[in-house]
Structure 1
Amino acid sequence: MARAGYGSVLLGCALLLGVHPGAASAQDGNAFHNRIGPNLPSPTLSAPAMSDPSVPPLPSAASAALALSAVFAGGDKPLRSGLAWRIYEDRTDGTKPAIVARSEAAEPSFTLAPGSYVATVTYGFASASRRVVMAGQPASEQLKVSAGALKLSGAIGDVKLSPDQLAFSVFVPIGTNSEGRLVRSGVKAGELLRLPEGTYHVVSTYGGSNAIQRADLKVENGKVTDATLNHRAATLTLKLVAAEGAEAFAGTAFSVLTPGGDTIREAIGAFPQVTLAEGDYVLIARHDGQVYTREFKVESGLNRDVEVIAKAG
């Protein structure tokens, strides 16, 4: 990309040699007169012309304003928030272009010297750019952004889950791999995630364990896709007790396993809480060198205590 503002300066040979064309002596003039003949007038030699301070110099090309705005592609609906504007040098020499100016205003105006630039706008993970040539006159450009947004939440049945219990990851499918490329992890419930239009794979994790739901969601240009992922899970309180309903032993180490022996969750305490997907599990409790076990079942939406009885032998 050619850098804006390049110019060329031509230097006369006399200046390069350090001789001013008006610096010839009177002797040089007489010699010239003798060569061209006495009947011809001698050339007039004068001192170098001096600039008149009363006459202002010709102005150089002036800076001018570039006004920018953004709309959703396929229409004229303006984007009013969530924008980040950058103005770069337009370079073709392979070097990294420098940022000339930036703004987060909805419709920014930049004062730019004559030259070529690249104006870019980002809207979340979506963006658009355009090459702009400034020639000393005000200009305006409108960039079109192909983007929409996702707004995610979770529920169990008809009960909405608290946002602090949920975390979402958003992927772009690649081929047959639904989780081909991670766009962003740790998305919060209710957060507006701005994305280029297209189809995305969303993974919702409830409670930080194995309560996971997945969905393929489409983001449409200029629209917000509001989606609720429904979990089938419950939150359980684990206890090691001497008898049913008795006080729980402190400092107990719990392990939650699948019937096949895979560890799902580990926790330590008198009554730690775990959130698990519905299904069958094995609970192991370790306390004072003793190991106790119990099988239990998780039913979606049924939050309850799971007690392990510390029986001798």
Structure 2
Amino acid sequence: MKLFVFIFVAIFFLQAPILAIAQEVVHPEPAARISRPDAPTAQNTTNNLGQNSGAIQELYPDRETQNQPPAQQTAPAPGPEQPVTLSAAIKENGAIVPNGLIWRVFDTKTDETGQLALLFRSEEANPSLSLPPGEYVVHASYGRAQSSDALSVVVGPNFKTIILDAGALRLKSAVSNQVDIPSQQLKFDIFAEGSEGDQVPVVLNINDSELIYLNAGIYQVVSRWGNENATVKADIRVEPGQITEATLFHNAAQVSFSLVSNIGGEAIADVDWQVQNMDGQTLYTHLGAFPSAILAVGDYVVFAQSGDQVYNREFQVQAGLPVNIEVLTSVY
């Protein structure tokens, strides 16, 4: 069963401190990793990652430190401590991130577990700390966007700015420009290409319109409408310093069923329902009078068992508004 997928992508550029919609429409490069012949296309407009980002989640929290207060520093190696101030920018020559950061500073020597020793952790935007002169590793995370760099501490004040090279992604889905999908019926998954060419999960079960911060790059996005087979995929490029808003269009519809003795009649209760595709794969089961499934475009067979009698009907799903399929008992 072939699905034809279309996505609408709006990109918003960072020009602090307010969000302003630019007028230019941009067509980005086509996604390189879509394997299906019906690869999606994207239409872009632009606006900005504002200076006030909302609360975000940490991708890789330290198990031993996630319950610590916002800033905590372990005892550094002996020596005269020097002041260090940290900051992070969205991109090269970009705005400084005002909140939502998690900082870690590591020694370059491993601890007893074989890991780099964690010396400092903070959730402040511009934390200050003291370290003896020497070499360290500083790591900043901003949602799912992360960056690490070497930190050389010398005698005197030290300032380090990490370039996150980060953008953000907000996802939506619809059937068409005229038919929206209820947000509670949607979930999204984001994948990145792994070192062996496989798709590695970045974040799963994202809600509709949730803002996700990511390192710049190309990601595979999967939109799941309902729990049956209404799924579409698209590769979407996240640019540094920009919010990309993408709408994926499903070729599917919400289908309800009723077992009736005549057309337009009252639905019979206590019916055991089963929906199969034409290959015999069961996609949906339900016990009750008013089942409802979300199905991709295609041909199906519905079975309705009432008592010892089983009724069935073939039907076709077309993308669009919700439809009701009546299964008649009178034809048997």
Pairwise TM-score range, normalised by the shorter structure: 0.7 to 0.9
Q: Show CA shifts across 1:104-154 (max 9, x none).
A: 222222244555432210122322223334456432111111221211101
Greater relative contact order (Cα < 8 A, sep 6+): 2
Are 1:265 and 2:256 matched, yes or no? no
Are 1:90 and 2:124 matched, yes or no? no
Aligned residues: 256
Are 1:163 and 2:183 matched, yes or no? yes
Residue pair 1:4, 1:114 contacting (<8 A) in 2 also: no
Residue pair 2:262, 2:328 contacting (<8 A) in 1 also: yes
Deviation of 1:275 after TM superposition, in Å, equals 1.0
Other structure's SS at 2:326 match: strand
Are 1:146 and 2:165 matched, yes or no? yes
Moved more, 78-87 or 105-114: 105-114
Partner of 1:310: 329
1:5 to 56, 70, 77: 77
| TM-score of the aligned structures, taking structure 2 as reference length | 0.69
Are 1:234 and 2:253 matched, yes or no? yes
Are 1:293 and 2:312 matched, yes or no? yes
Alignment of 1:1-313 (within 5 A): 5=77, 62-91=80-109, 95-112=114-131, 116-134=135-153, 137-158=156-177, 159-173=179-193, 180-311=199-330
Other structure's SS at 1:160 match: coil
| TM-score of the aligned structures, taking structure 1 as reference length | 0.73
Larger Rg: 1
Deviation of 1:64 after TM superposition, in Å, equals 4.1
Partner of 1:49: none
CA distance in 2, matches of 1:176, 1:251: 51
AA of the residue aligned to 1:168 = F
Which consecutive unaligned segments of at least 5 residues does structure 2 have? 1-74
Percent identical? 36
Deviation of 1:311 after TM superposition, in Å, equals 4.0
Deviation of 1:167 after TM superposition, in Å, equals 0.9
Other structure's SS at 1:164 match: helix
Moved more, 167-176 or 218-227: 167-176
AA of the residue aligned to 1:5 = A
Residue pair 2:174, 2:181 contacting (<8 A) in 1 also: yes
AA of the residue aligned to 1:127 = Q
CA distance in 2, matches of 1:157, 1:109: 50
CA distance in 2, matches of 1:139, 1:157: 54
CA distance in 1, matches of 2:250, 2:326: 24
Q: Show CA shifts across 1:167-191 (max 9, x none).
A: 11112245996x6222222111111
Moved more, 134-143 or 256-265: 134-143
CA distance in 1, matches of 2:116, 2:279: 57
CA distance in 2, matches of 1:225, 1:161: 20
AA of the residue aligned to 2:161 = Q
Aligned CA RMSD, in angstroms, stands at: 2.6
Deviation of 1:219 after TM superposition, in Å, equals 1.0
CA distance in 2, matches of 1:168, 1:162: 14
AA of the residue aligned to 1:166 = L
CA distance in 2, matches of 1:99, 1:289: 67
Deviation of 1:92 after TM superposition, in Å, equals 5.0
CA distance in 2, matches of 1:116, 1:194: 29
Other structure's SS at 2:116 match: coil
Deviation of 1:205 after TM superposition, in Å, equals 1.1
CA distance in 1, matches of 2:281, 2:188: 24
Residue pair 1:120, 1:129 contacting (<8 A) in 2 also: yes
Other structure's SS at 1:282 match: strand
Residue pair 1:237, 1:274 contacting (<8 A) in 2 also: yes
Deviation of 1:310 after TM superposition, in Å, equals 2.4
Q: Show CA shifts across 1:203-259 (max 9, x none).
A: 111122111111111111111111100112211221122332233222212111112
CA distance in 2, matches of 1:146, 1:196: 6
